Structure 1
Amino acid sequence: MSAFISSLRPSLRLAATAQPARTFSSSSSRSVAKMILTGRLAAEPELQATSTGQDVIKYALATSYGPKENRHTSWFRVSSFIPEGAQRDYILGLQKGTLVYVEGDASMRQYEDAEGKKQSSLSIVQRSLEVLKRPASAYENESESH
């Protein structure tokens, strides 16, 4: 056992003096801001084109907290750069009111508005999306009321 510990000492000494760039992470060492949101779609996602012609899916997400009589809602705009295929069609088929879990990269952007006032906006680029609950359809609501 003593020989085993002795053989580890150079490694332990090196580990104690060396400072890794990032501990417990497999991502690159560049700075990154991540957001996790759980909320409802404010409208159906829309397919748009960027100024360079790249397709982007955009949607707004509402998150709420607090008691019903004093509820606070925050609105987030999310972009998704999913290429053509089943994933893109799936997102575009989601209905208003769908409860989703979204993980994304976040960044702040500074700009001047038309009146020359400095503004800032939060940009969220979706990395993953999971549907937690779909809204009740109009057909289900009608059948429940009869």
Structure 2
Amino acid sequence: MSSFLARRALTASARPFSTSASRSSFAKMTIIGRLADTPELQATSTGNEILRYAVGTNSGRGEHQKTSWFRVTSFLPQGPQRDFIASLDKGTLVYLEGEASMSQYQDSEGKPKSALNIVQQRFEVLSPKKQSQQE
């Protein structure tokens, strides 16, 4: 390989994949888990309504099982899709994609805490709640 082609190959591999202007960075998450409770509509200071809910995921087995909770906000406009999500029961298995961000706060005892918040971008129901939870 000539030195020109070698330099060309090195330069090409150092370039970003996209030639479009870069946008601010973001974190995207995919979660498969169960609804912690029925989603709730909440009014914002601008008079709009947002849908808030939590999704729980489990890892490990038996005594070593750990549950992680994710707070989700949906900015869907009023309509059938938002109404459908708002009507889902606790325990429904869902697939969720969204933009993730961390927030810091203090709990009621003044201890610093952090939370992972997700803004819903894609949502699908995988199965209704478990039979044992229906009773």
Larger strand fraction of residues: 2
RMSD: 3.1
1:16 to 6, 12, 37: 12
Cα distance, 1:17–1:68 mapped onto 2, change above 3 Å:
closer
Match of 1:120 in 2: 114
Where structure 1 has 5 or more consecutive residues not aligned to the other structure, the ranges are: 1-8
Cα distance, 1:106–1:91 mapped onto 2, change above 3 Å:
same
Task: Within 5 Å, give how 1:57-72 maps onto structure 2.
Answer: 57-72=51-66
Cα distance, 1:49–1:71 mapped onto 2, change above 3 Å:
same
1:42 to 36, 61, 66: 36
Instruction: Tell me the SS of whatever aligns to 2:23.
Output: coil
Aligned residues: 127
Cα distance, 1:43–1:111 mapped onto 2, change above 3 Å:
closer
Larger deviation: 77-86 or 45-54?
A: 45-54
Instruction: Tell me the SS of whatever aligns to 2:85.
Output: helix
Quote the offset at 1:51 in angstroms: 2.6
Separation of aligned partners in 2, 1:98 and 1:72 = 19
Larger deviation: 30-39 or 68-77?
A: 68-77
Cα distance, 1:28–1:115 mapped onto 2, change above 3 Å:
same
CA distances 1:20-54 after superposition (whole Å, capped 9, x unpaired): 3xx26989632010111110001111101123322
After TM superposition, which residue ranges in structure 1, 4 or more long, deviate above 3 angstroms? 24-28, 111-119
1:51 to 28, 32, 45: 45
CA distances 1:61-107 after superposition (whole Å, capped 9, x unpaired): 11001113421111111110100111111101111110001001011
Separation of aligned partners in 1, 2:65 and 2:19 = 37
Larger helix fraction of residues: 1
TM-score by length of 2: 0.77
TM-score by length of 1: 0.71
Identity across aligned pairs (percent)? 54
Quote the offset at 1:135 in angstroms: 1.9
Cα distance, 1:113–1:97 mapped onto 2, change above 3 Å:
closer
Where structure 2 has 5 or more consecutive residues not aligned to the other structure, the ranges are: none
